[in-house]
Amino acid sequence: MSELKDMKIMIFPSKYIQGDGAITFLPEIMEKYGDKPLVVATRSMVDTANKLMAGKGKVLKFGGECSRNEIDRIKGIATEMDATAIAAIGGGKPIDACKVAADELNIPIIVAATIAATDAPTSGCAVVYTDEGVYVKVLYQKHNPDVVLIDTDVILKAPVRFLISGMGDALATFFEANSCERSGSLSECFGLRTKTALALSKLCLDMLLKHGRQSVKDAKKGVKSEAVESIIEANTLLSGIGFESGGLGSAHSVANGLTELPATHHLYHGEKVAFGVLTGLQLYDELGIVDEIFDFCVDIGLPVSFEDLGIPKATDDEIFKVAESCYKYNFMSHEPIDVDIDKIIAAMKKTDEIGSAKKLAKGK
């Protein structure tokens, strides 16, 4: 008998709108779903949200954490006003909290991302934390967001580090999807991969390598360009579709393992993932591309050494702790080769060695 996990499965957001001024379409879009919109905005976007909605429906300030309490608070207000749809304006946490609230209330969810650093805008899953910010679990929604709005102008107003971090996360997309395909592992929507998912994850990598460096130069000057638009698309749409319908592997295992060390807590998710990509390529590099990826990371400012990670004098105990923690998350077993703790430790040390030498050679 067939099981769902034996099927090729692919999931997408229903509509994706990217460009200068995209957020101004929010009231018009919300109106299509009904006359009682609830907009949840991150603190810095509350004024913008109020101006945009001009008294239509309700604007709520996000509480700061994607926790069960905050999700229930949003649900309570939505229920009280009989909301016809929920919109989230902000980064990963408000987006995730609203995705869960709308899913549990069975009403549409519209997402307006203010940074291009995470996969949250397009995905159909959300990471839930305690009120204090400790990881609890991932919740899966019945479907991905109804509409995703990415406003180039808004993204460019955020610090460039978010865009760079997003590239670190996006950098993992092809390698992890490819590893899952080779090992026959399940994707993050719990199925096998379509050719479409694999092709999009490769497009993601190609776009990063082609436009990544230029996008950083342009974004630092606040210049809207083809490079910036391409990287916003790679970081949000391609990376989002790619990780969900492609799968995760060693890069996210190492990134999650690094969270065991408090000294790395200042890093964004994608920055840790970038170091995970480089470590993973020491273990399995089908394309023979590791040197090119090192150069890319050094050039755009992603971490390539223990020093970059905030652990310049990493001890063997600390490295062991990270390597051991890689197994807390099942993704390491998605690699098509035999991996053990010793191999991960060796790969991390090699990455630090090569990365440090590259930085020295490039005078960074």
Residues that bind Zn ion (CB under 5 A): 169
Shortest Å distance, C-beta 170 to Zn ion: 9
Please name every residue paired with 8 in a beta bridge, in sequence order, or none if there are none. Answer: 192
Cβ pair 207, 233 in contact under 8 A: yes
For the chain, first and last CA: distance in Å? Answer: 57
Shortest Å distance, C-beta 276 to Zn ion: 9
Report the alpha-carbon angle 14-18-24, nearest 5. 100
Shortest Å distance, C-beta 209 to Zn ion: 19
Report the alpha-carbon angle 69-26-21, nearest 5. 120
Q: Closer CB to Zn ion, residue 114 or residue 123? A: 123
Collapse the DSSP code of 191 into the 3-class scheme (helix H, G, I; strand E, B; otherwise coil) and give the result. coil
Shortest Å distance, C-beta 280 to Zn ion: 13
Q: What phi, psi does 149 have (nearest 5°)?
A: -110, 125
Q: Closer CB to Zn ion, residue 52 or residue 241? A: 241
Q: Closer CB to Zn ion, residue 151 or residue 169? A: 169
Shortest Å distance, C-beta 307 to Zn ion: 23
Q: Closer CB to Zn ion, residue 48 or residue 235? A: 235
Cβ pair 256, 230 in contact under 8 A: no
Shortest Å distance, C-beta 12 to Zn ion: 18
Q: Closer CB to Zn ion, residue 176 or residue 308? A: 176
Q: Closer CB to Zn ion, residue 119 or residue 352? A: 119
Q: Closer CB to Zn ion, residue 107 or residue 170? A: 170
Q: Which residues contact 16 (CB under 8 A, 6 or more apart)?
A: 122, 147, 148, 150, 237
Q: Closer CB to Zn ion, residue 63 or residue 242? A: 242
Collapse the DSSP code of 212 into the 3-class scheme (helix H, G, I; strand E, B; otherwise coil) and give the result. helix
Residue 75 in tokens: 């649900």
C-alpha closest to that of 247 among 186, 308, 307: 186
In what side-by-side order are the strands of the sheet with 37-41?
15-19, 147-151, 109-113, 85-90, 37-41, 58-61
By Cβ distance, which residue is nearest to Zn ion?
169
Collapse the DSSP code of 18 into the 3-class scheme (helix H, G, I; strand E, B; otherwise coil) and give the result. strand
Residue type at 318?
Answer: E
Shortest Å distance, C-beta 219 to Zn ion: 20
**269-283 vs 290-300: helix crossing angle, rounded to 10:** 160
Shortest Å distance, C-beta 235 to Zn ion: 11
Residue 344 in tokens: 């991960």
